[in-house]
């Protein structure tokens, strides 16, 4: 593990959250490798769950995510970097556009960066709460 790897990972992750935070969805895919993998476990009723491979699929993920929820809170509390891996800890609260229901809680994202591009992006959140917010009563 070289110092440059760690710096590259941290810089890439910071750039990702900077773009995401300002709503630059068009700029997000260029931070991902052509064959990047994005993994979000959860129920099929939640439009952003599943395993996606490829830059185009990643782009669709973020478009679906932003269209589906009105984010009330998204707070990155800590980013820890270990070589090519970054671990992002935080809290969120989203209101589902289609149902008006809110779900919130802690999240963790594992981001793997190689050669300055995101190779793998995996989120861990309360998938049960998300499914309940997307479901009907």
Using one digit for the tens of pLDDT, what is the confidence trace for 68-105? 999 999 999 999 999 999 999 999 999 999 999 999 99
Contacts of 5 (CB under 8 A, 6+ apart): 83, 84
Query: pLDDT tens-digit profile of 4-45?
Result: 433 499 999 999 999 998 989 889 999 999 999 999 999 999
Q: What is the pTM of this model?
A: 0.89
Range 3-134 has CATH code 3.40.710.10: no
| Domain ranges across the chain | 3-134
């Amino acid at each position: 593990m070289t110092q440059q790897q760690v710096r590259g990972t941290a810089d890439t992750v910071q750039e990702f959250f900077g773009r995401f935070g300002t709503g630059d969805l068009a700029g997000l895919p260029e931070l991902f490798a052509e064959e990047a993998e994005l993994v979000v476990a959860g129920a099929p009723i939640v439009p952003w769950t599943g395993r996606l491979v490829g830059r185009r699929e990643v782009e669709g993920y973020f478009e679906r995510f932003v269209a589906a929820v009105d984010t009330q809170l998204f707070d990155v509390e800590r980013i820890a970097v270990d070589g090519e891996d970054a671990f992002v800890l935080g809290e969120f609260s989203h209101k589902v556009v289609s149902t008006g229901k809110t779900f919130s809680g802690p999240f963790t994202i594992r981001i793997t960066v190689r050669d300055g591009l995101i190779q793998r992006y995996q989120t861990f959140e309360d998938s049960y709460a998300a499914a309940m917010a997307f479901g009907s009563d």
